[in-house]
Amino acid sequence: MMQVIHAPAEMYNQTMLLKMSGKKVGFVPTMGYLHKGHLELLKFAREHCDSLVLSIFVNPTQFGPKEDYGSYPRDLERDKELAAHARVDTIFLPDVDSMYPPGYRTFVEVEELSKGLCGAFRPGHFRGVATIVCKLLNIVAPDEAFFGEKDAQQLVIIRKMAQDLNMPVKISGFPTVRDADGLAMSSRNVYLSDEEREQATGLYRALQNGRSLIEGGETEAARIDAAIREAIARDVPAGVVEYVDIVDGNTLAPVSRTIGKTLIALAVRVGKARLIDNIRVGG
């Protein structure tokens, strides 16, 4: 039977009991409104642990004042059904007050890695993400935690935080799950109209195009960048590009030549949705 735990102390105690009996605890943190990407991630996590915890918490500190915290899609009953189907053992479902009680003062900042890409457009976002993930990892205390690679910068930041703060947890990434037409799964895809959704499939094609250029021998980041932007302008006319960046896959520092492990990442606004996607090349 799947159980739902609200209180952080109860969550922690449960993990301690499981660990004492030799069980391996796996953890998938989410903001809910589960989609096929989450379900594939849960399936993978399920295969790598004895007891699986899913957290659902729409974290206010990672949203900017003008962002969609209030309107972020929520459907707890559906999430519970999907979680039970995915053989989740425990849903950790804290409320905002138990995570950020009045007088809350502590935040985690992962320097440098939080500056570029999405960080440049969402000030404070990764401070909120690092803080909540640190708290969740302390409360759930899993052996292994699983994150989607669609949020490439988030994953790099979380890995760094876990390493820098000596957190006793293994952080694992899982490849982006896409619809048949290539669009990366995201809870925010519900904001798209049919026409916008159709156009949004052009983003992954543009990234694939960039990767093909590199694989074909092109190393000049500026040329790859220009080709991707041209493809977006042509195929995603409703899109407003926030950034297309070609960066080092480990340090996230912009590169002028694509030698070694490279990440091509983008954020594009299509209608009401802010879509992100990325592709890795080399290394």
Please tell me whether residue 254 adopts helix, strand or coil conformation: strand
Instruction: Output the six-digit token pair for 96.
Output: 């905002």
CB 205 within 8 A of CB 264: no
3-class DSSP state of 112? coil
Interactions with ligand PAF, residue window 58-77 (CB under 6 A): 59, 62
Q: In this chain, which of 29, 94, 116, 119 binds ligand PAF, going by CB under 6 A?
A: 29
Q: How far is the CB of 78 from ligand PAF (least distance, A)?
A: 16
Q: Which of 5, 31, 206, 268 binds ligand PAF (CB under 6 A)?
A: 31
Q: What is the per-residue binding string for ligand PAF in 101-140, x denoting contact by CB under 6 A? A: ----------------------------x--xx-------
Phi, psi dihedrals of residue 97, rounded to the nearest 5°: -65, -30
Q: Give the Cβ contact number of residue 240 at 10 Å.
A: 12
User: Please, how many CA atoms are within 13 Å of residue 239, restricted to the half-sphere of its CB?
Assistant: 28
Clarify whether 38 is annotated catalytic: yes
Question: Should residue 156 be labelled a site residue for ligand PAF when binding is judged by CB under 6 A?
Answer: no
Q: Which CB, 122 or 211, lies closer to ligand PAF?
A: 122
Q: Which stretch binds ligand PAF (CB under 6 A): 23-31, 111-119, 197-205, 234-242?
A: 23-31
Segments of 93-238 assigned E as strands: 144-148, 170-174
Catalytic residue among 6, 35, 38, 85: 38
SS3 82: helix
Residues that bind ligand PAF (CB under 6 A): 29-31, 59, 62, 129, 132-133, 151, 154
Catalytic residue annotation: 38
